[in-house]
């Protein structure tokens, strides 16, 4: 759980920094990189929470 939070936080920070670089430099490539990182961070988080929910459901059954 701690490892996931650390990875999730670092990925989120990297995505925000890329978007900040896009705003600072005006280059589209930074915005594109930031959005890709953020997209896969959200996908990973949804997968993680789906696994947690499935574990809870398995215990209930």
CB 18 within 8 A of CB 38: no
Would you give per-residue pLDDT tens digits along the chain (61 residues)?
Answer: 788 889 999 999 999 999 999 999 999 999 999 999 999 999 999 999 999 999 999 998 8
Cα-atom radius of gyration of the chain, to the nearest Å? Answer: 15
The pLDDT score that the predictor gives to residue 61 is: 81
Angle, CA of 55, 61 and 4, to the nearest 5°: 5
Per-residue model confidence (pLDDT) at position 32:
96
41: how many CB neighbours lie within 10 A of its CB?
19
| C-alpha to C-alpha distance for 40 and 12, rounded to whole angstroms | 10
**What pLDDT does 49 receive?**
93
Q: Give the C-alpha distances (Å, rounded to integers) separating 33 from 3, 8, 27, 29.
A: 23, 16, 11, 6
């Amino acid at each position: 759980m701690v490892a996931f939070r650390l990875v999730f936080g670092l990925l989120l920070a990297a995505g925000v920094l890329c978007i900040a670089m896009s705003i600072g430099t005006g280059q589209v490539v930074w915005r594109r990189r930031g959005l890709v990182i953020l997209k896969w961070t959200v996908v990973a988080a949804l997968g993680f929470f789906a696994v947690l929910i499935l574990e809870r459901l398995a215990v209930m059954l």
